């Protein structure tokens, strides 16, 4: 069963919204992580860690999961396929990696936010910021963004077999429609 063009457009709209929102959430998280560096202001440190926890669980996780799910739905319901093109496979792997690291890292953020809520000023100053994970995550998300915009050519072996069986189904054959 082939989904309707309306369904695919709706999925694309949700996917783009979630993906751009995910990037925006990472930018906000990075800004809070930067705010904790070099400051001794207790309220800034406490507030930043609490906000990073909230952004992580209530914005980043839902947006990341939505982006992953709608990306898979779009891949399997469009001409690109999930495993036909290298750019789709690489995007999928990088997105799964980013989601996995996010889910693995957020419990540590929750622990640090709990410490920040009650810590003494010297302990607060020692908390520092959280920049490495979100910075690497941002790079990964931007790579996926570029791959999805430019769609570099290159079929996987699976895609080559499919192309030999049905050459008119290739996205390149319908590129100018």
Q: Mapped to the 3 state alphabet, what secondary structure does 11-22 carry?
A: HHHHHHHHHHHH
Cβ count within 10 A of residue 129: 19
Q: Quick one: which H or E segment has residue 89? A: helix 86-118
Percent of the chain with pLDDT over 70: 94
Q: Cα–Cα distances in Å, from 13 out to 8, 16, 67, 169?
A: 9, 5, 11, 24
pLDDT value at residue 80: 86
User: 48-57, 58-67, 129-138, 155-164: which has the minimum mean pLDDT?
Assistant: 155-164
**Number of domains composing the chain:** 1
pLDDT value at residue 163: 81
Residue-wise pLDDT for 153-169, tens only, equals 888 888 788 888 877 65
Q: Are 31 and 129 in contact (CB under 8 A)?
A: no
Q: Cα–Cα distances in Å, from 113 out to 45, 62, 103, 128?
A: 9, 20, 16, 12
**pTM, 2 dp:** 0.88
**Mean residue pLDDT across the chain:** 91
Which candidate, 2, 3, 164, 174, places its Cα nearest to that of 84? 164
Tokens for 3, please give them.
């989904």
DSSP 129-162: ---HHHHHHHHHHHHHHHHHHH----B-HHHHHH
Q: What is the mean pLDDT of residues 38-44?
A: 90
- Neighbouring residues of 121: CB distance < 8 A, sequence distance ≥ 6: 40, 42
Q: What is the mean pLDDT of residues 68-89?
A: 92
Q: How many CA atoms lie within 13 A of 162 on its CB side?
A: 15
pLDDT value at residue 168: 67
| Owning domain of residue 55 | 5-174
Residue-wise pLDDT for 131-140, tens only, equals 999 999 999 9
Which candidate, 112, 98, 134, 97, places its Cα nearest to that of 46? 112
Tokens for 103, please give them.
């889910």
DSSP tag of 168? G
């Amino acid at each position: 069963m082939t989904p309707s063009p309306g369904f695919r457009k709706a999925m694309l709209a949700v996917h783009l919204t979630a993906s751009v929102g995910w990037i925006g959430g990472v930018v906000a998280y990075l800004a809070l992580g930067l705010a904790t560096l070099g400051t001794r202001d207790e309220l800034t440190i406490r507030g930043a860690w609490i906000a990073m926890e909230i952004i992580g669980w209530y914005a980043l996780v839902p947006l990341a999961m939505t982006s992953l799910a709608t990306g898979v739905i779009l891949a399997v319901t469009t001409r690109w396929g999930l495993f036909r093109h290298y750019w789709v496979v690489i995007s999928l792997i990088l997105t799964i990696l980013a989601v996995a690291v996010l889910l693995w890292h957020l419990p540590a953020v929750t622990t640090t936010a709990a410490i920040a809520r009650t810590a003494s000023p010297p302990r607060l100053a020692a908390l520092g910021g959280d920049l490495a994970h979100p910075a690497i995550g941002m790079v990964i998300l931007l790579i996926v963004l570029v791959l999805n915009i430019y769609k570099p050519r290159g079929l996987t072996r699976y895609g080559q077999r499919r192309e030999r069986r049905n050459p008119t189904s290739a996205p390149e054959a319908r590129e100018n429609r």
